C-alpha cells in the first residue's frame, strides 16, 4: 500500500501513514440521509430573535444534554457557542456536539446542522441550513435565524431528539 | 441475567439455600401482597410465584442452577473491536488493530481496601523553591484526604534517602503535617535510594489487605542506578506493589519513568508546572481508592503468524504498554472509566482462505477470586473477496492519535540515527496533523521543534516532553470523550 500523500510504502491494513500521518482508508464520508417526512411541521415557532448579540459568557454555563435514543446524558460547557453536527475528518468539520456515535447520519443530522450561541440575555439556537431541518419543541426553525432556547427545550435535528437542560 | 429472572434474588436467599430456607423466604414474602392477588394483575407476585415454583422443585432447580452457571456474567465485561474482521488473501504481511475495553461493573462490586501508600520525594537542590513548596502543599491536601485506616509513609531523597514519615496509619494528621514541613533541599538525585527506602516502609504493612502503591515525584535524571530501579519495580509488582511516577519540569528521563511503571501497568506523567502537582496526585489517589479488579494481565499465546507490534493503554490514563514479555501488564480497573487499550498486530502472509484466531486470555485479581481468568478469542477470516467495512470510529480516532504519538517518538529515533532530514520532515508533518485536529498549541510546538531540528539538529528537552505527553494526553481524552457520562464532567 502506498500513501497517496507522501508516497511512503505501508503495510496493508495500516490506518494512518507512519511517515506523514495521512489517513489511508478511502472510506467516503457518509452522506446525510434524506428523511421522507422532512416537510413535516414547517410552521415557525416563537418568533425569531431580532437583536440577539452573541457574546462570550464571563462564567461558562453548564448544559446537560440528554439524547434518549442513545441513552446518553452528559454535561457540556458553553462559553460562546456550541456547534452541532457530525464530525467529518475529510471535510475538517469538528462540531463541539458531535452526533456521529448517536447514529447521526442515519437519523438525518447534517455535518454542520445547528448552532447554540450564548449572550448575556440567554441562549439562542439556529439551524445552519441543514438537510432535514432543526425543530424546537416540534416546530421547524427557519434556517439561519436565531430562536430563544430555554431550559428544558426539546431540540430535534432531523430525526434525532435531544433535551437541553441548564 | 437481569434481576427479574434471578430467582434467588427475588426470594432474597443465597444460591446454596436449603429447601426449608427457600420455603420460609417465600412464606415471609407473601403477606406483602393482598389476599386476592393474581399473577395477571401483579407482575411482582407472578415473579415471586415463578421463582418459588422453580426453586422448590429439586429437578427444576438443578436445571436452573446449571443455566445460571453457564450464563454467570464474568465480573470482567470485555468488548473487542477490530480494524478488520475479514482480510484479503495476501502474499505480504498485513496490519490489524484491536481496541479492547474492559468496563467497570456496577459500583456496588467495588472493593475498598485501605491504601498503603509511600510517597517518595526528590529533594535534590533543583527542587528548591516553587517545586518543593507545591509538593509540600500537595502532601498536606493528600494527608487530609486519607482515611484513618490508610497507611502512609513519606521518604525524601537526594543522594541518600531519609524516612520523613515511617509507615503508620494516617490517623494523627497534625503530626504527619508537621513532619512534612521538615523536608529541605540538598544534594543530587539517586532515585534507587528513595525507592528502596519506600519499598521497605510499604512492606511494614500487611500487603494482601491493602492497595499498595509507591508514588515517585522527581525532577531529574538518576545517576547510574536506573537498572537497579527497574529491577526493584519488577520485584515490587510481584509483591502487588504498584509504582506511579511523576516528572516535574523537563530535565528528567521520560523513558526511564515509563520503564519504572510498566511492571505494574501504572502511570508516568509529565508535570509541566509545579502548580499541577496537586491535581495529578489527587487523581492518582482517587483511582487507587476505587479499584474493581487488580493487576489485570493479558497473556498472548500467539501462533508465529501473529506478531504484536505495539500496545497502548488509553484509559483510565494513557500509557505505553510493554509487549516484550508473554504477559502484558494492564494495571487495575479503576474508578468509573473503562480500562481501554489498543494493540497493533502484523499478520503474516495469508496465501489461503482460512480463519485466524487471536487468543486473548485475561487474568485479574478480583475481590472474591484471585487469578480469575477470562478467555476470549477474536476471530478474523481470510477471504479472496472480503467485504470492506470501515473500522469502528472509536478505533480510528485512537489509532490517529496513537500515530501522532509514534511520529513524535520516531523523530527521536531519526535524530539518534543522525537522519536530520527525515526528523525535520516528520516533525513538520506532525505539526500539520495536529493543526488539522485543532490542537493549535501542540501544532505550534511541533512546528518550532521542526525549525529547531532543521537549523540546530536537536529538539528542546521541553518541546520533546510537551509533544510526547501532549499527544499522550490527547489519547487519554479520546476514550474519555467516547465514554462521556456525567461523572467525567
pLDDT in tens, B242-273: 999 999 888 888 889 999 999 988 999 888 88
**Nearest neighbour of B485 by CB, restricted to A74, A76, A101:** A74
A contacts of B486 (beta carbons < 8 Å): 64, 73-75
Is A31 part of any domain? no
Scanning every residue of chain A, which has its alpha carbon at the shortest distance from the alpha carbon of B89? A12
Which residue carries 435514543 as its cell?
A69
Residues 6+ away with beta carbon under 8 Å from B270: B247, B254, B465, B466, B468, B469
Spatial distance between the Cα atoms of B247 and B196, rounded to a whole number of angstroms: 18
Instruction: Let me know: does B127 contact B175? Beta carbons within 8 Å.
Output: no
**What average pLDDT does this structure show over A31-42?**
52
Residue B69 has what pLDDT?
61
Is A8 part of any domain? yes
Spatial distance between the Cα atoms of B159 and B191, rounded to a whole number of angstroms: 8
- DSSP SS3 for B418: coil
Least confident of B2-6, B89-93, B299-303, B467-471: B2-6
B contacts of A76 (beta carbons < 8 Å): 489
A15 with B403: Cβ contact below 8 A? yes
CB of B41 within 8 Å of any CB in chain A?
no
Residue B6 has pLDDT above 80, yes or no: no
A contacts of B400 (beta carbons < 8 Å): 15-16, 21, 23, 89
- Mark whether A138 and A68 lie in a shared domain: yes
Residue A71 CB neighbours (<10 A): 8
Residue B16 has what pLDDT?
78
The confidence band for B110, taking pLDDT boundaries of 50, 70 and 90, is low
CB of A14 within 8 Å of any CB in chain B?
yes
- Mark whether A71 and A151 lie in a shared domain: yes
Residue B67 has pLDDT above 90, yes or no: no
Residue B168 has what pLDDT?
93
Q: Name the residue with higher pLDDT: A64 or A4.
A: A64
Residue B484 has what pLDDT?
47
Q: Name the residue with higher pLDDT: B154 or B58.
A: B154
Residue B486 has what pLDDT?
34
Residue B369 has pLDDT above 80, yes or no: no
Is A155 part of any domain? yes
pLDDT in tens, B299-341: 988 888 999 999 999 988 888 898 888 888 898 888 778 899 9
A contacts of B426 (beta carbons < 8 Å): 19-20
Residue B108 has what pLDDT?
52
Residue B411 has what pLDDT?
92
Residue B487 has what pLDDT?
37
Scanning every residue of chain A, which has its alpha carbon at the shortest distance from the alpha carbon of B402? A16
Q: Which of A1, A15, A76 to mutate to test the interface with B (most CBs of B within 10 A)?
A: A15
- Mark whether A66 and A10 lie in a shared domain: no
**What average pLDDT does this structure show over A39-53?**
68
Scanning every residue of chain A, which has its alpha carbon at the shortest distance from the alpha carbon of B411? A19
CB of B429 within 8 Å of any CB in chain A?
yes
How does the average pLDDT of chain B come out, rounded? 86
Is A11 part of any domain? yes
Supply A41's cell numbers.
411541521
Instruction: Let me know: does A25 contact B95? Beta carbons within 8 Å.
Output: no
Residues 6+ away with beta carbon under 8 Å from B340: B99, B100, B101, B102, B313, B314, B315, B479
CA-to-CA separations, B362 to B141, B233, B312, in angstroms, rounded: 36, 22, 16
For CA atoms B162, B164, B170, B171, give the dihedral sign.
positive
- The strand pairing partners of B348, in sequence order, are none
Residue A68 has what pLDDT?
83
The confidence band for B38, taking pLDDT boundaries of 50, 70 and 90, is confident
CB-defined contacts A:B, below 8 A: 78
Spatial distance between the Cα atoms of A109 and A130, rounded to a whole number of angstroms: 8
Least confident of B95-104, B370-379, B457-466: B370-379
**Nearest neighbour of B403 by CB, restricted to A12, A21, A73:** A21
For CA atoms B182, B185, B186, B190, give the dihedral sign.
positive
Distance (Å) from the alpha carbon of B82 to chain A's nearest alpha carbon: 11
pLDDT in tens, B451-462: 999 888 888 888
- Mark whether A77 and A158 lie in a shared domain: yes
Cα–Cα nearest to B405, from B374, B453, B439: B439
Cα–Cα nearest to A20, from B410, B394, B346: B410
The confidence band for B384, taking pLDDT boundaries of 50, 70 and 90, is confident
pLDDT above 90 covers a percentage of chain B that reads 29
Rounded to the nearest 5 degrees, what angle is found at the Cα of B83, between the Cα atoms of B376 and B487?
75
DSSP code for B486: G
- Mark whether A17 and A77 lie in a shared domain: no
Distance (Å) from the alpha carbon of B251 to chain A's nearest alpha carbon: 28
Residue A40 has what pLDDT?
45
The confidence band for B278, taking pLDDT boundaries of 50, 70 and 90, is confident
Residue A1's domain comprises 1-26
Rounded to the nearest 5 degrees, what angle is found at the Cα of A28, between the Cα atoms of A26 and A34?
175
- Mark whether A79 and A22 lie in a shared domain: no
Residue B274 has what pLDDT?
83
For CA atoms A35, A40, A46, A47, give the dihedral sign.
positive
CB of B378 within 8 Å of any CB in chain A?
no
A contacts of B406 (beta carbons < 8 Å): 18
Classify residue B243 by burial, with Cβ atoms within 10 Å: 0-12, 13-18, 19+: buried
B407 with A14: Cβ contact below 8 A? no
Cα–Cα nearest to B449, from B463, B437, B435: B463
- Mark whether A78 and A157 lie in a shared domain: yes
Q: How many residues does chain B have?
A: 489
In order of their start, the domains of chain B are 3-71 (1.10.287.110), 77-108+292-383 (2.60.40.3670), 113-289 (3.40.50.410), 393-488 (1.20.120)
The confidence band for B27, taking pLDDT boundaries of 50, 70 and 90, is confident
Supply B13's cell numbers.
436467599
Tell whether ipTM is more than 0.85: no
**Nearest neighbour of B406 by CB, restricted to A11, A13, A18:** A18
CATH number at residue A152: 2.60.200.20
The confidence band for A44, taking pLDDT boundaries of 50, 70 and 90, is low
Cα–Cα nearest to A161, from A125, A124, A130, A136: A136
Spatial distance between the Cα atoms of B264 and B334, rounded to a whole number of angstroms: 14
Residue B91 has what pLDDT?
87
**What average pLDDT does this structure show over B384-410?**
89
pLDDT in tens, A63-96: 989 888 887 888 899 999 999 999 988 888 899 9
Is A50 part of any domain? no
Which residue carries 510499604 as its cell?
B202
The confidence band for B73, taking pLDDT boundaries of 50, 70 and 90, is low
Residue B2 has pLDDT above 80, yes or no: no
Supply B223's cell numbers.
545517576
B404 with A21: Cβ contact below 8 A? yes
- Mark whether A77 and A127 lie in a shared domain: yes
Scanning every residue of chain A, which has its alpha carbon at the shortest distance from the alpha carbon of B482? A101
- Mark whether A155 and A97 lie in a shared domain: yes
Q: Name the residue with higher pLDDT: B34 or B246.
A: B246
Residue B122 CB neighbours (<10 A): 28
- The strand pairing partners of B87, in sequence order, are B382
The confidence band for B43, taking pLDDT boundaries of 50, 70 and 90, is confident
What is the count of structural domains for chain A?
2
- Mark whether A74 and A128 lie in a shared domain: yes
DSSP code for B284: H
- Mark whether A93 and A139 lie in a shared domain: yes
CB of B171 within 8 Å of any CB in chain A?
no
Q: Which of A1, A2, A16 to mutate to test the interface with B (most CBs of B within 10 A)?
A: A16
Residue A147 has what pLDDT?
93
A15 with B484: Cβ contact below 8 A? no
Cα–Cα nearest to B186, from B157, B165, B164: B157
- Three state DSSP letters for chain A: CECCCCCCECCECCCECCCCCCECCCCCCCCCCCCCCCCCCCCCCCCCCCCCCCCCCCCCEEEEEEEHHHCEEEEEEECCEEEEECCECCCCECCCEECHHHCCCCCCCCCEEEEEEEECCEEEEEECCCCCCEEECCEECCCCCCEEECCCEEEEECCEEEEEEC
Is A56 part of any domain? no
Is A33 part of any domain? no
The confidence band for A160, taking pLDDT boundaries of 50, 70 and 90, is very high
Residue A43 has pLDDT above 80, yes or no: no
Spatial distance between the Cα atoms of B449 and B444, rounded to a whole number of angstroms: 8
Is A38 part of any domain? no
Residue B96 has what pLDDT?
94
Residue A50 has pLDDT above 80, yes or no: yes
- Mark whether A4 and A67 lie in a shared domain: no
Cα–Cα nearest to B409, from B284, B312, B298: B312
Amino acid at each position: 500500500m502506498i500513501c497517496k500523500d507522501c508516497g511512503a510504502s505501508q503495510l496493508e491494513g495500516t490506518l494512518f501513514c507512519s511517515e506523514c500521518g495521512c489517513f489511508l482508508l478511502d472510506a467516503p464520508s457518509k452522506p446525510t440521509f434524506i428523511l421522507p417526512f422532512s416537510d413535516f411541521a414547517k410552521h415557525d415557532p416563537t418568533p425569531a430573535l431580532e437583536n440577539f448579540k452573541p457574546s462570550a459568557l464571563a462564567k461558562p454555563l453548564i448544559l446537560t444534554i440528554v439524547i434518549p435514543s442513545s441513552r446518553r446524558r452528559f454535561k457540556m460547557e458553553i462559553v460562546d457557542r456550541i456547534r452541532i453536527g457530525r464530525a467529518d475528518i475529510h471535510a475538517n468539520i469538528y462540531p463541539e456536539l458531535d452526533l456521529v456515535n448517536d447514529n447521526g447520519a442515519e437519523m438525518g443530522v447534517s455535518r454542520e446542522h445547528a448552532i447554540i450561541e450564548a449572550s448575556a440575555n440567554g441562549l439562542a439556537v439556529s439551524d445552519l441550513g441543514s438537510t432535514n431541518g432543526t425543530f424546537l419543541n416540534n416546530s421547524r426553525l427557519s434556517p439561519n435565524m436565531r430562536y430563544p432556547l430555554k431550559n428544558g427545550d426539546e431540540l430535534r435535528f432531523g430525526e434525532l431528539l435531544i433535551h437541553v437542560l441548564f | 441475567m437481569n434481576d427479574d429472572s434471578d430467582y434467588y434474588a427475588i426470594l432474597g436467599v443465597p444460591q446454596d439455600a436449603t429447601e426449608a430456607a427457600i420455603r420460609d423466604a417465600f412464606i415471609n414474602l407473601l403477606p406483602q401482597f393482598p389476599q386476592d392477588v393474581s399473577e395477571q394483575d401483579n407482575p411482582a407476585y407472578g415473579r415471586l410465584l415463578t421463582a418459588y415454583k422453580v426453586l422448590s422443585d429439586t429437578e427444576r432447580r438443578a436445571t436452573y442452577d446449571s443455566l445460571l452457571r453457564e450464563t454467570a456474567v464474568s465480573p470482567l465485561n470485555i468488548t473487542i473491536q477490530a480494524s478488520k474482521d475479514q482480510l484479503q488473501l495476501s502474499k505480504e504481511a498485513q496490519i490489524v488493530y484491536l481496541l479492547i475495553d474492559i468496563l467497570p461493573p456496577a459500583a456496588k462490586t467495588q472493593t475498598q481496601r485501605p491504601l498503603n501508600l509511600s510517597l517518595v520525594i526528590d529533594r535534590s537542590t533543583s527542587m528548591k523553591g516553587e517545586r518543593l513548596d507545591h509538593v509540600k502543599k500537595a502532601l498536606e491536601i493528600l494527608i487530609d484526604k486519607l482515611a484513618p485506616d490508610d497507611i502512609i509513609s513519606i521518604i525524601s531523597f537526594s543522594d541518600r534517602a531519609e524516612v520523613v514519615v515511617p509507615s503508620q496509619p494516617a490517623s494523627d494528621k497534625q503530626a504527619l503535617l508537621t513532619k512534612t514541613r521538615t523536608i529541605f533541599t540538598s544534594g543530587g538525585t539517586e532515585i534507587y535510594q528513595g525507592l528502596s527506602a519506600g519499598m521497605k516502609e510499604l512492606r511494614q504493612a500487611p500487603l494482601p489487605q491493602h492497595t499498595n502503591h509507591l508514588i515517585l515525584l522527581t525532577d531529574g535524571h538518576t545517576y547510574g542506578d536506573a537498572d537497579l530501579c527497574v529491577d526493584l519495580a519488577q520485584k515490587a509488582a510481584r509483591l502487588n506493589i504498584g509504582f506511579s511516577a511523576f516528572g516535574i519540569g523537563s530535565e528528567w528521563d521520560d523513558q526511564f519513568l515509563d520503564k519504572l511503571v510498566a511492571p505494574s501497568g501504572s502511570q508516568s506523567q509529565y508535570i509541566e508546572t509545579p502548580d499541577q502537582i496537586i491535581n495529578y496526585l489527587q487523581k492518582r489517589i482517587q483511582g487507587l481508592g476505587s479499584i474493581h479488579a487488580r493487576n489485570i494481565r493479558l497473556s498472548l499465546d500467539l501462533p508465529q503468524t501473529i506478531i504484536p507490534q505495539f500496545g497502548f493503554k488509553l484509559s483510565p490514563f494513557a500509557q505505553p504498554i510493554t509487549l516484550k514479555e508473554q504477559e502484558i501488564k494492564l494495571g487495575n480497573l479503576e474508578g468509573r472509566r473503562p480500562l481501554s487499550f489498543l494493540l497493533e498486530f502484523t499478520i503474516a502472509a495469508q496465501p489461503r482462505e482460512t480463519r485466524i484466531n487471536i487468543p486473548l486470555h485475561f487474568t485479574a485479581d478480583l475481590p472474591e477470586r484471585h487469578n480469575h481468568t477470562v478467555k476470549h478469542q477474536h476471530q478474523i477470516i481470510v477471504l479472496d473477496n472480503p467485504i470492506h467495512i470501515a473500522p469502528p470510529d472509536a478505533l480510528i480516532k485512537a489509532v490517529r492519535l496513537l500515530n501522532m504519538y509514534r511520529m513524535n517518538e520516531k523523530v527521536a529515533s531519526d535524530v539518534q540515527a543522525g537522519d536530520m532530514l527525515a526528523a525535520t520532515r516528520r516533525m513538520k508533518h506532525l505539526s500539520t496533523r495536529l493543526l488539522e485536529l485543532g490542537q493549535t498549541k501542540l501544532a505550534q510546538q511541533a512546528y518550532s521543534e521542526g525549525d529547531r531540528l532543521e537549523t540546530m539538529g536537536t529538539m528542546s528537552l521541553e518541546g520533546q516532553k510537551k509533544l510526547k505527553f501532549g499527544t499522550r494526553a490527547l489519547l487519554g481524552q479520546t476514550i474519555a470523550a467516547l465514554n462521556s457520562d456525567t461523572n467525567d464532567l
